[in-house]
Homo-oligomer: A and B are copies of this chain.
């Protein structure tokens, strides 16, 4: 078995794709939170000049994508694939928001775990040699998500303590082939190699991925998504450690997407029962993104939550050398308004991405 097929559920990339560009675009409330200074763009108008919340979310995606491509120092034409998704039915934000990019699109859905899924697929596309550059994008919007999954905002319902607050924001990363340098070197294009090497210094690479399964513990409370997702996150984290033969200490941080305060405790216990203590490394984007005073109950959530924390904060900490190795695990609750109304449980899924400093 090649290194590409690592253990039961993981891939270890032989030529790890490089994150050459990243961008985060968030709403006003996220900009006012403790990580506000890290985000590239803070939209003062949550409608982003659009007529509907869904269109606004699409605009966040387009802005994040364009900015990430600019940060990568390439042209839009050089991006061979977009792998994008959101939380809305039929991926409205991605379908409409990215329409004008003129790049072939793979639409993906993994609830709030989608950033892990899109980076995973884009990384395999790049490492497989099918693209020199591919972009992974996800988004969520508080207003479009509340309308889709819970209650219209005008209804002003009360929120239980276990509820999370959907992040308004979009994050995008450009994944570029690390084999290009070698190819250019064979062609003797030395100037280009030096320029590329300079550009890649301090960049973060996707070292590997651990792809999750759907895990259902039978929880039916759409206001307690942390509990629904924690077992799925726990399974993926444990499987990542088993597949690669790592101990938790291998990572400077193990970061989940949006388990929130309730999910966090369940996760730590779950992973401990599998023989790993991750307390020291553990962090959750959903708990971090808002301040205590922002009244968001259990924390932030949504496809955009882990995406903006990744592109706004996590990658910067890696690039600065504060951290060297991170296991990034966006977490998703596979809930639809129809499945919920039909009395179904809320299964979870999570996808792990190993990020390493170059």
B-contact 0/1 string along A25-55, CB 8 Å cutoff: 0000000000000000000000000011011
Report B-chain residues with C-beta under 8 Å of the C-beta of A195.
Answer: none
Interface string of A65-103 (1 = CB under 8 A from B): 000000000000000110001011111100110110111
Contacts of A55 in B (CB 8 A): 342
Task: Flag the segment in A269-277, A290-298, A331-339 that touches B.
Answer: A331-339
Beta-carbon contacts of A2-17 to B below 8 Å, as 1s and 0s?
Answer: 1011000101000000
- Name the residue in A51, A127, A130 with the highest tally of chain B Cβ atoms < 10 Å from its Cβ: A130
By a CB distance below 8 angstroms, the chain B residues around A124 are 124-125, 128, 130
Decide if A315 is an interface residue (CB 8 Å cutoff): no
* Interface status of A105 (Cβ within 8 A of chain B): yes
- Is A231 part of the contact surface with B, judged by Cβ < 8 Å? no
Check if A268 is an interface residue, CB within 8 A of chain B: no
Residue of B nearest to A117 (CB): B106
Residues of B within 8 A of A4 (CB): 128-130
Name the one of B11, B101, B337, B349 contacting A89, with C-beta atoms under 8 angstroms.
B337
- Residues in B with CB closer than 8 Å to A108 are 106-109
Contact mask for chain A residues 206-221; partner B; CB cutoff 8 A; 1 contact, 0 none: 0000011110100000
Nearest-Cβ distance from residue A11 to partner chain B, whole angstroms: 5
Number of interface residues of A (CB under 8 A): 60
> Nearest Cβ in chain B — how far from A196, in angstroms?
17
B99 and A214 contact, CB distance less than 8 A: yes
A5-B80, A129-B5 known; A104+B211 contact, CB < 8 A: yes
* Chain B nearest CB, measured from A292 CB (Å): 31
Q: For the complex, what is the distance from the CA of A128 to the CA of B103, rounded to whole Å?
A: 21
List the B side residues contacting A132 at CB < 8 Å.
5
Nearest B residue to A333 via CB reads: B90
Q: Which of B11, B130, B342 contacts A5 (CB 8 A)?
A: B130
**Whole-angstrom distance from the CB of A183 to the nearest CB of chain B?**
9
Of the candidates B129, B214, B335, the one whose C-beta lies within 8 Å of that of A90 is B335
Q: With A and B bound together, what is the CA distance between A80 and B10 in angstroms?
A: 9
User: In the complex, what distance in Å separates the CA atom of A147 from the CA atom of B169?
Assistant: 31
Give 9 A-B contacts (CB < 8 Å), ordered by A residue: A5-B130, A9-B104, A51-B342, A89-B90, A89-B336, A92-B339, A95-B349, A108-B108, A124-B128
Apart from the given pairs A89-B89, A99-B347, 7 other A-B contacts in the complex at a CB distance below 8 Å:
A9-B104, A11-B130, A51-B342, A52-B342, A85-B109, A89-B338, A95-B334
Could you tell me which A residues sit within 8 Å of B by CB distance? 2, 4-5, 9, 11, 51-52, 54-55, 80-81, 85, 87-92, 95-96, 98-99, 101-111, 117, 120-121, 124-125, 127-132, 148, 211-214, 216, 334-339, 342, 344, 347, 349
